[in-house]
Amino acid sequence: MDNWLWQSASELGRGIGKGEIDPVALTEAYLDASRAHEHRDRIYTVLTPERALAEARGAAERARNGVRRGLLDGVPISWKDLFDSAGIATEAGSRLLEGRVPEADAEVLARATRAGLVCLGKTHMSELAFAGLGLNPAYRGTPEGATPPNVNDPACVPGGSSSGAAASVAFGLAAAGIGSDTGGSVRVPAAWNDLVGLKTTSGRLSLEGVVPLAESFDTVGPLCRSVEDCAHLLAVMEGGAAPDLTGARLEGRRFLVLEPYVSDAAPAQASGFASGVERLAKAGARIETGTVGPIAEAMGLSPVLFAAEAYGTWSEAIEAAPDRMFDRVRDRFRGGADFSGPDYVAAWRRLRDLRRAWAAETAAYDAVLLPTTANAPPDIARLMADPDFYVAENLLCLRNTRVGNLMGLCGLSLPTGVPSAGLMMLAPPMAEERLLRLGAAAEAALA
C-alpha cells in the first residue's frame, strides 16, 4: 500500500479499474499517512475522512459493478482552501474569513465528486492567494503553522499560493492537488516541488464557489505527478473528455526561448532549464531564442491590473480588521488604492492591444519556453526576518509565470530533474489540448 502513495492519479485509476486497488483501502492509506505525517498540520487545514470514505465506498461499489464513471473514479485528491466545500470551513488562508462555512461545493469540486474523485481535505495557501512564496504566518500564528514545507528542504518555502496543494502531492499525501493560478500560483509551487502544474486559460474552468483574488486573472488548475494526470483532471473539472496524448512527439515542433527571462535565472534554475531545452532539442524540437516586444510594457501594467482589482475585491474586509492579516500581504493589497478607475480601464485597454501583438509575434511557434521561476525557494527564517528580501523574492518568483497571466495564455510547468527547477511552456488561449500533447512529449524527453 505504501507504493500507492507515490503512483500517479492515472496509474491508481487503472489499478482500480483492473480490480488491483480498492478505493476504500487506497483512501484509508492516504488518510493514515496524512495523520501520521510530521508536517500534516503545515499541509492540510483539515482532513475530511467521513466525506472521503463515503465517496470511496461509492467508488468501490461502482468498480465491483463495472459502472465506473471514468479513469479517476475512486482516486483521492486534495483541494486548496479557497474552493468552497459544503459544511467544511473554507477560509482562504486568512483570519478575515475565520468561521466561513459554505453551504455548497464549488462547481469544479462538485464536478469532480460527480466523476467519482475522493476529497481528502483542504490544503493551506498564501493568505487570500496574494503571494507567490507560500509563506503564511498570520493564519495559524507561526510561520510553520500555515507554511507548508518544501519537499527538497523543509526550511524553505514551497511556493504559493497553492502551497499545500503542492506539498500534499510531493509528500505522498494526495494523488493530486487542485489549486488556483492568478499570477503563477499553480506553476511556482509545482516547479519548486518537482511536480507538473497546469495553468488553464482564464474562463476555461468555472470560478463559481471559488474565493476570488482578481477574477479577471483567476484560474483553476491541477498539480500532479504527470501530464496525463493534468489532462484527466482538466476534463473532470470541465465535464468533458481528456485529450488523447498517445503518439505525442517533438519532431519539427518549434519553440521560442524567451529572453531576457532566462539569462538572469539562479544557478539551479538556469541549469535545469538549459539541460531541459537541450533534451527537447535532442528529441527533435526546433529551438530559437528571442524576445517578444509587448511583454515588457505589459509587465509595467501589473500593479494596476492585479493590485487594483484585488484591493477593490477585498478592501472592505481588509480595512475592517487590518491587524488580522500578515502585514506584507496587507500592504500589497493596499497598493491597489494608488490607482484610479480610469487608470484601471486604460491599463486593460492597453493590455488587450498587447495581447494581440503577442499573438502575432508568437504565431509561428508551438510554445514559448522559459524557466518557471527565476529564483530558488528562499529560506523561511530569512523571509520572516527581512521584509525587503521578502518583497524582492516574492516579485521575482512570480515574474516569469506572470507572462502567461498577462498575455491570457495557458501554461504548463514540468520538472527538469534538477530539484526545484521547472521548465515552463506557454501556449495560446484555450489551447490546453495542444499544450498537454506538447507537454507529454516533453515529459518523455525530460525523463
Would you call 161 a catalytic residue per the annotation?
yes
199: alpha, beta or left? (left if phi > 0; alpha if psi -120 to 50): beta
Q: CA-CA distance, 405 to 375, in Å (whole number)?
A: 19
- The answer for residues whose C-beta is within 8 angstroms of residue 333's C-beta and 6 or more apart is 128, 130, 307, 310, 311, 314, 315, 318
**CB-based burial of residue 42 (10 Å sphere; 0-12 exposed, 13-18 middle, 19+ buried)?**
buried
Q: Are 375 and 266 in contact (CB under 8 A)?
A: yes
Is 78 annotated in the active site? no
Q: Under DSSP, is residue 425 helix (H, G, I), strand (E, B) or coil?
A: strand
Coil/strand/helix, residue 150: strand
Q: How far is CA 137 from the centre of its chain?
A: 21
Is 180 part of the annotated catalytic residue set?
A: no
What are the Cα distances from residue 59, in Å, to 14, 20, 213, 421?
A: 13, 14, 34, 36
Cell 530559437, residue? 288
CB 244 within 8 A of CB 235: no
C-alpha cell at 361: 509575434
Three-class SS state of 76: strand
What is the C-alpha R_g of the chain? 20
Given 34, 78, 80, 94, the catalytic residue: 80
Question: What is the distance between the alpha carbons of residues 446 and 78, in angstroms, rounded to a whole number?
Answer: 27
Q: Alpha-carbon distance 166 to 2, whole Å?
A: 19
Asked if 215 contacts 313 with a C-beta cutoff of 8 angstroms, the reply is yes
User: Residue 33's CB: how many other CB atoms inside 10 A?
Assistant: 18
Beta strand 76-80 pairing with 118-123: parallel
Backbone angles phi, psi at 231, to 5 degrees: -65, -45
Q: Identify the sign of the CA torsion 203, 209, 215, 219.
A: negative
Q: Find the catalytic residue in 8, 94, 161, 302.
A: 161
Catalytic residue, chosen from 34, 85, 168, 185, is 185
Q: Distance between CA 75 and CA 58 in Å, rounded?
A: 12
- Residues marked active site are found at 80, 161, 185
